[in-house]
Amino acid sequence: MDTKLTLAQKFAFAGLLLASMVLMTLFGAAGRARAAGTLYAAPVAAGSGDCSSWSNACTLQTALTGATSGDEIWVKAGVHKPGAARTNTFTLKSGVAVYGGFAGTESQLSDRNFANNATILSRY
């Protein structure tokens, strides 16, 4: 059995391989769903502001924008505003739990003390 490829078949295969590599590069990372987790929000972003920890907390508006179903958003005590304009609002997402009352050092949901750590959502 002859398994040699013609020049046209080699070019077609190379083209498909190249197209696959380009698509994986462009859409590979973006197309992957991230695992549900905890996003950390503070009245003012801290560190990298990527919501990954208390030291890198983002704003509540950023956390809500980036959250997906199954996520929890832990919100540090203080006054949280959705933006500079009075017409800006917070929009909750289905399947995303938002918890306030954190001092900003907790590692367990049960560690929060919402009586001592008031979390206020304000438009002004």
The one-digit pLDDT tens for each residue of the chain (124 residues) are 555 656 654 444 444 444 444 333 333 333 335 568 999 999 999 999 999 999 999 999 999 999 999 999 999 999 999 999 989 999 999 999 999 999 999 999 999 999 999 999 998 7
Largest distance between two CA atoms of the chain? 80
Within 13 Å, how many C-alpha atoms sit on residue 31's CB side? Answer: 6
Tokens matching residue 34 = 């991230």
pTM, entire model: 0.72
Domain assignments of the chain as residue spans, ordered by start: 1-32, 38-121
